[in-house]
Amino acid sequence: MNSSASAPVAGGAPVAATPSREPSAAYLAWRAREQRRRHYILATRIALLGVLLLLWEILAKSHVVNPMLTSYPSALWPTFLELLDGGNLLGHTWATFKATLIGFMLSMLIGTGVAAGLWWSSFAHKVLDPFLVVANAMPKIAFVPIFYIWLGSEYSVYGMAVAIAVFVTIMVMYDGFQSIDPNKIKLARTLGATRAQVLRLVVLPGSVPTLIAALKMNIGLALVGVIVGEFQSASQGLGFLIVNGSQVFKLNVVMTSIVVLGVLSGVMYLAIARIESALSKRYR
């Protein structure tokens, strides 16, 4: 049998049978196809964004839609520069990002900790489960005035971020803990592992895919909570800029803030994607 022949793996990518030799022609062709595919996906994304911006510009300029209500891309750049120069745009963006990051981290830590406690004690889960479901179903915007009174204008934003994200985290992480293969847990207990060791060495590492899913959900939910809090009580942040701009009918400021908010969301998503890649390589 020729040792230089390539063999397919589960993902369909042929690999060289002997690492020390040159990659096979089939492997190099597969890598070239994958690279072209990635470039095609990126180009399609850019083209789609360009088409949407162009349609927005054309529809507003031709008054198919009212430019007073929607603004248009070519008007946002001067507004962006104006806000950047004298409107403290970086300060508002940093305030929103900081609050989102704090709310995100708190909700992940609290949610994972509570989920681990519910996994540890089935009695606690049976008692608290209906309360968690009701708390998650409640409209969190109702808590804004309460958080404002309890925490003040600054910390109420953090409270909203945690309130919106934490209950989803608890339920998602608990379901992930419960889905661990019971045979692995039995094997660990047979080998003498304590319940804490089972949690640390079996349940938590086995729940990495669930953790990644929770991270992806939570970063968006925390940002939603921060913006809702800034709408109601903050004196800084992108949510404050949006509300302030709408009150004085400066739609350019509103739309520019929304675009910056979209860019911020994209940056945070890319950061989560990097974390996902690192965790997948370690625990695959």
Mean pLDDT by 10 residues, the chain (284 residues): 47 51 80 90 93 91 84 85 82 90 92 92 89 86 84 84 90 89 86 85 86 86 88 81 84 88 89 81 64
Rounded CA-CA distance 259/85 in Å is 17
pLDDT of residue 43: 94
Contact 251/70 with Cβ under 8 angstroms?
yes
Domain count, the chain: 2
Residue 240 domain boundaries: 75-283
Is the pTM value of this prediction over 0.75? yes
Token pair of 30 as six digits: 């597969």
Does residue 223 share a domain with residue 100? yes
What proportions of the chain, in percent to the nearest 5, are helix, strand and coil? Answer: 80, 0, 15
Rounded CA-CA distance 73/26 in Å is 46
72 HSE (CA, 13 A, CB side): 16
Does residue 115 share a domain with residue 64? no
Q: Does the residue 1 lie in any domain?
A: no
pLDDT of residue 101: 92
Rounded CA-CA distance 59/53 in Å is 10
